[in-house]
Amino acid sequence: MSEINYLEVCIEITPFSENNAEIVMAMIEEAGFESFAIQAPCLKCYIRRELFSQQRLRCLLSFFDNNPELSLSVSVNPLREENWNRKWESEFKPVVIAGKCTVKASFHKDLPKTEYNITIDPKMAFGTGHHRTTTLMVKWLLRLAEARACMTGARRATLRGLQVLDMGTGTGILAMMAAKLGAHRPVHAIDLDIVAVNSARENIYRNHLHKAITVMHGDSSLIQSSKYDMILANINRNILLADMATYSRGLKSREQTLFLARNRRGYKNMPPEFSFGGMLVASGFYNEDIPVLRKRAAECGLKYVSSMSMNHWASVLFCRC
């Protein structure tokens, strides 16, 4: 009999909606959960048995105690590893983003053809492509790659020549998408969670991108000064606020990017996104969080360029001044 390593924490939400489930998810994301699944009427959360604290979860959920419009009920169930594998296989559906990128599992068959395909096995790490913020980040990558193609005269969307970092990589979806769009090798991917690091490495091998991506275990202290043309940070508001200065220092300056642009042949019209320094594409927060993030970014020498949103979740593009 296999050992019970994980717990499934089921939070029943009344009244249930995906938006309410995502609000609860955002509130408890610091409790150590490695993966979430929204399945009406519950938010299901998965965590290693030894990391689970009932008291910490109760403390985080106490935020909703005085909310008469939302009721929460919590149950905890042991989950054997083979049960988890069967569960995510039954619940994980392929995701098609912007009609151009499909995120799927290896067992998915007969899918519509898209230009880019990413195969993953989450293995308890966050990031299956279903979350709104992952979708927003992939849309940003596609949009910036299309702008890059217009700038260079390339026939297809490309990030060729850009050094990219995926901060908080999770299952590695964004790093793999950047690599598939032709970003400079190797794309760097960092995560503080060793489960995510191992999951990302396995997924990268599964997609034959192990020569195009380097995955590192650690935090933002690994970011080198003036290293990156683009940093992808799909994390959360508090971490973005705390690490904004580090992200800014890690981006190339306007002088560096313009010098490189002037010294490469074939560059035509310079899109607005590429007329400043390095780019920070951030997500993992709500529309109402944008003003405080813009304020902090400005303090760190980053200029707000544009934003996208989906079901109250937001993603913002900043550029180094």
The per-residue pLDDT string of the chain (321 residues; one tens digit each, 9 = 90 and over) reads 445 678 889 999 999 988 888 889 888 877 878 777 788 899 988 888 888 999 999 999 998 988 888 999 999 988 765 555 566 666 667 888 988 998 888 777 777 789 999 988 755 545 555 578 899 999 999 999 998 888 778 888 899 989 999 999 988 999 999 999 999 999 999 998 887 898 899 999 999 999 999 999 999 999 988 789 999 999 888 899 999 999 999 999 876 665 455 444 444 554 555 556 899 999 988 899 999 999 999 999 999 999 999 988 899 999 998
Single out the residue of 235, 252, 244, 250 nearest to residue 293, CA to CA: 244
152 shares its domain with 213? yes
Q: Could you give the CA distance from residue 271 to residue 117 in angstroms, rounded to a whole number?
A: 27
Q: What is the largest CA-CA distance in the chain?
A: 64
CA-to-CA distance for 182 and 179, rounded, in angstroms?
A: 5
Q: Decide which of 46, 81, 116 is a domain's last residue.
A: 81
Q: Tell whether 282 and 152 lie within a shared domain.
A: yes
Asked whether residue 198 falls in the same domain as residue 139, the answer is: yes
What global pTM score does this model have?
A: 0.78
pLDDT for the residue numbered 272? 58
Q: Are 69 and 190 part of one and the same domain?
A: no
Q: What is the pLDDT of residue 265?
A: 47
Q: Is residue 86 part of a domain?
A: no
91 in a structural domain: no
Domain region containing 66: 6-81
CATH code of the domain in which 221 resides? 3.40.50.150
- The answer to whether residue 255 sits within a structural domain is yes
Structure tokens belonging to residue 171: 């299952």
How far apart CA 33 and CA 25 sit, in angstroms, is 10
Kindly state whether residues 316 and 206 are assigned to the same domain: yes
CB distance 247 to 235 below 8 Å = no
CATH no. for residue 65?
3.30.70.100
**139 and 286, same domain (yes or no):** yes
Does residue 136 fall inside a structural domain? yes
Residues 17 and 162 in one domain: no
Same domain, 61 and 137: no
Distances from the Cα of 320 to the Cα of 109, 148, 184, 276, 297, angstroms: 43, 17, 19, 6, 9
Residue type at 294 in one-letter notation: R
Q: Is the dihedral of CA 117, 135, 279, 174 positive or negative?
A: negative
- The one-character DSSP state at 208 is T
- Other beta carbons within 10 angstroms of residue 270's beta carbon come to 13
Which phi and psi (to 5°) does residue 319 adopt?
-130, 145
* Residue 219 belongs to a domain: yes
Domain match, 17 and 150 both? no
Residue with tokens 């392929």: 94
Q: What is the CA radius of gyration of the chain?
A: 20
Residue 57 and residue 192 share a domain: no
Q: Are residues 35 and 167 in the same domain?
A: no
DSSP single-letter state for residue 272: G
Q: Are residues 156 and 66 in the same domain?
A: no
Apex 126 CA angle, 230 and 73, nearest 5: 135
Q: Which of 23, 275, 10, 219 is nearest to 132 (CA)?
A: 23
Q: What CA–CA distance (Å, rounded) separates 72 from 88?
A: 24
Nearest to residue 243, comparing CAs of 194, 300, 305? 300
Residue 117, domain member (yes or no): no
Q: Are 42 and 11 in contact (CB under 8 A)?
A: yes
Cβ pair 33, 65 in contact under 8 A: no
Contact 103, 173 (CB under 8 A): yes
Question: How many domains, the chain?
Answer: 2
Which strand (E) or helix (H) includes residue 177? Answer: helix 173-180
Q: Which of 224, 235, 238 is nearest to 278 (CA)?
A: 224
Q: Which of 113, 104, 229, 110 is nearest to 173 (CA)?
A: 104
The CA distance from 49 to 173, in Å, is: 26
The answer to the question of residue 261 being in a domain is: yes
Tokens of 275: 């007329």
Q: Would 101 be classed as within a structural domain?
A: no
Say how far apart CA 260 and CA 109 lie, in whole Å.
43
Q: Of 81, 115, 147, which residue sits at a domain end?
A: 81
